[in-house]
Chains A and B, each alone.
Chain A
Amino acid sequence: MATPQAVRRIGRLVAKSNIAVVKELADINAQPSPVYTAGPKSDSDILNWEVSITGPEGTPYQGGTFKLALTLPPTYPFHPPTLSFVTKIYHPNVLPDGMVCIPLLKTDQWKPACKLVTVIDIAVGLLKEPDEDQAIEGEAADIYKVDRKKYEKTAKEWTKKYAN
């Protein structure tokens, strides 16, 4: 039997969880984007999000759906979240383990006024056009700089293979 006290305790837990995250989630749900969907993996853990981005048209990623893991620290928004690709992707700004190189997400660059929507928008932007200046060490980055056609071909193959 759920006593009012128990109900109150649950309420307090919800209240103690991050209000900023709840509000941002509400905003994202209120204005869904045609390009991506984002939300917590489970209702019980509001700090682990799954983002799913549709490959933008006119890029080698067209036709693919890319899943990313967005992990928020308990101290969000005072500390930056981390973003990594779960779906394998051939991209100059993505490390082989899926980590995305976004300067904004570094601790010294992060500002609490940044929103998760901004972070996701940057990731979508990277799919549309890789950031050559932020390219990290890796095969994809080297080939992107040297042989654009080969890069596009491999990226298309990977999209077909992993992101369908």
Chain B
Amino acid sequence: MEEGKSSKTTSCCELDIRSLLYVSLNDNLVCPICCSAFVDPCYTKCGHTFCSVCLYRALAQSQKCPVDRGPLSDDDICPPPKILSNMVNELLVYCPNVDKGCKSTVQRCLLRHHLQDKCRYTLLACPSDACTELIERRFIDRDPANCFHRPIMCPDCHDSVAEFELDDHKNTCTARSTKCPDCSKEFSMADIKDHLDTCSESVVTCPANSLGCRWSGRREKLDSHTAECVLTSLAPFLDKQEERIANLEAENKTLRAQIAVGGSNSMLDSDVFHIFTEHERFRSELERLSEQLGELEIRQSVMLTNQTVRAKEEIQNMRNAVNAIRHQMHFLMMERRTWALQNLATSSVVPPGAVVPASSSAAGSGASGGNSNGHEEVANIRFMRRESEPYRQDVKL
């Protein structure tokens, strides 16, 4: 019992992950050393991934990366990204008892659980106290108190067989006899297979069944049927035709694929070329236009400044001229007033040449002329203002 129990525990823990059969395995998840999916992967500074066990074993031989042979020490190894560990742990594997009949596929990380608690084919210690053998779980489930290692006599061949093996033995026991379902004769298990292929009583179909012949009957009548059956005689010819058609279809398919690829390619190329040339043309035109626009803008602004400067100058000149005229008028008015005042005083006639000297002096220096007559202005300020208003307005107009 003790031994049985210890074996029971080891049978579960002894799981060799590397010998598992995977449902599908990405080549990127395979360790380059042991050629199986990563087990407890680790990651080197040179970017390679290995199973930890494999890598440390390789480093014990030489301190080089097993892939690129670059120098590598224990310090250059780090745990892999979590996602990698998860990916390898979630890989689907076939139960190691697949040979015995377990059809389950489980995630690799759950396999231990499956074997320990679920798999019906896991070997467990025999429930009988007297027995030290192991027995599959399905037998224990069937009868938890029974020891299935008890030898039993096979009723046919009289060999002693363990009880749990009896089911399998019945299918293979050569001494066991069975009846042919067609001719009802008895045959041993070893011979029945050969007999079924040749039994003259069994019902068979015409070999040209796939070509449409619906005949079926006893095997002994098959020969006479095939002698008459048109389809059977045609069969070799039809088979050959079918093969030829299949070949032609395959060839046709490849040719069509080639044409499709070639046709679409050439069209694509010319289209793309056309679009590219158009694009290039538009780009150069755009460049030309934007250049022209810039040039025009510069020219415009230069012209504008030139014009403005000239206009400003002209305005200044005109303003100066207007000022000069105003002073001249002023001077003349003053002259006239003083003359009028004197006239009033003396009751004489106004001299006609008074305007001429005044205008010549005002053209030279209008401003100084205004200043030199300041005292007269102050003296008659009230009068002058009243009189000068209408003249000023005349000048402005």
Name A's B-contacting residues (CB within 8 A).
1, 3-5, 8, 12, 14-15, 19-20, 22-24, 27, 77-79, 108, 111-113, 115
Chain B 55-71 interface 0/1 with A at a Cβ cutoff of 8 Å (1 = within)? 00110011011111100
Give the interface segment out of B14-22, B73-81, B101-109.
B14-22
Size range of the chain B interface in the assembly: 20 to 34
Residues in B whose Cβ lies below 8 Å from that of A4: 123, 133-136
Q: Is B162 an interface residue (CB 8 A)?
A: yes
Name B's A-contacting residues (CB within 8 A).
7, 11, 14, 16, 18-19, 32-36, 54, 57-58, 61-62, 64-69, 123, 133-136, 162
Taking a contact as CB atoms closer than 8 A, the residue among A5, A12, A22, A115 that contacts B133 in the complex is A5
- Asked if B67 and A78 make an inter-chain contact with CB atoms under 8 angstroms apart, the answer reads no
Residues in A whose Cβ lies below 8 Å from that of B58: 78, 112
Closest to A109 in B: B69
Taking a contact as CB atoms closer than 8 A, the residue among A3, A14, A19, A113 that contacts B32 in the complex is A113
Bound: A22/B19 CA distance, A: 9
- Asked if A112 and B35 make an inter-chain contact with CB atoms under 8 angstroms apart, the answer reads no
Known contacts A15-B19, A79-B61; decide if A112 and B36 are in contact (CB<8 Å).
no
Distance from A137 Cβ to chain B, minimum over Cβ atoms (Å): 27
- Asked if A113 and B135 make an inter-chain contact with CB atoms under 8 angstroms apart, the answer reads no
- Asked if B66 and A112 make an inter-chain contact with CB atoms under 8 angstroms apart, the answer reads yes
Residues in B whose Cβ lies below 8 Å from that of A115: 35
Taking a contact as CB atoms closer than 8 A, the residue among B33, B57, B136 that contacts A113 in the complex is B33
Distance from B161 Cβ to chain A, minimum over Cβ atoms (Å): 8
- Asked if B67 and A23 make an inter-chain contact with CB atoms under 8 angstroms apart, the answer reads no
Residues in A whose Cβ lies below 8 Å from that of B68: 111
Residues in B whose Cβ lies below 8 Å from that of A112: 32-33, 54, 58, 61, 66
What 10 new A-B contacts, CB under 8 Å, besides A3-B133, A112-B61, A113-B67? A4-B123, A4-B134, A5-B7, A8-B11, A20-B34, A22-B19, A24-B35, A78-B57, A78-B58, A112-B58
- Asked if A19 and B35 make an inter-chain contact with CB atoms under 8 angstroms apart, the answer reads yes
- Which A-B residue pairs are the 7 nearest by beta carbons? A113-B32, A23-B35, A112-B66, A19-B18, A113-B67, A15-B16, A112-B33
Residues in B whose Cβ lies below 8 Å from that of A1: 162
Residues in A whose Cβ lies below 8 Å from that of B66: 111-113
8 contacts between A and B (CB under 8 A): A4-B135, A5-B7, A5-B134, A8-B134, A20-B35, A23-B35, A112-B33, A113-B32
Total of A-B residue pairs, C-beta within 8 Å: 58
Residues in A whose Cβ lies below 8 Å from that of B134: 4-5, 8
Closest to B67 in A: A113
Bound: A70/B62 CA distance, A: 23
Taking a contact as CB atoms closer than 8 A, the residue among B34, B62, B65 that contacts A19 in the complex is B34
> Which residue of B32, B57, B162 has the most chain A CB atoms within 10 A of its CB atom?
B32
Residues in B whose Cβ lies below 8 Å from that of A15: 16, 19
Residues in B whose Cβ lies below 8 Å from that of A108: 62
Residues in B whose Cβ lies below 8 Å from that of A8: 11, 123, 134
Taking a contact as CB atoms closer than 8 A, the residue among B7, B19, B33 that contacts A77 in the complex is B33
- Asked if A111 and B35 make an inter-chain contact with CB atoms under 8 angstroms apart, the answer reads no
Distance from A11 Cβ to chain B, minimum over Cβ atoms (Å): 9
Bound: A108/B61 CA distance, A: 10
> Which residue of A8, A14, A22, A112 has the most chain B CB atoms within 10 A of its CB atom?
A112
Bound: A23/B36 CA distance, A: 8
Bound: A79/B134 CA distance, A: 38
Residues in A whose Cβ lies below 8 Å from that of B34: 19-20, 23, 77
Residues in B whose Cβ lies below 8 Å from that of A111: 64-69
Closest to B55 in A: A112
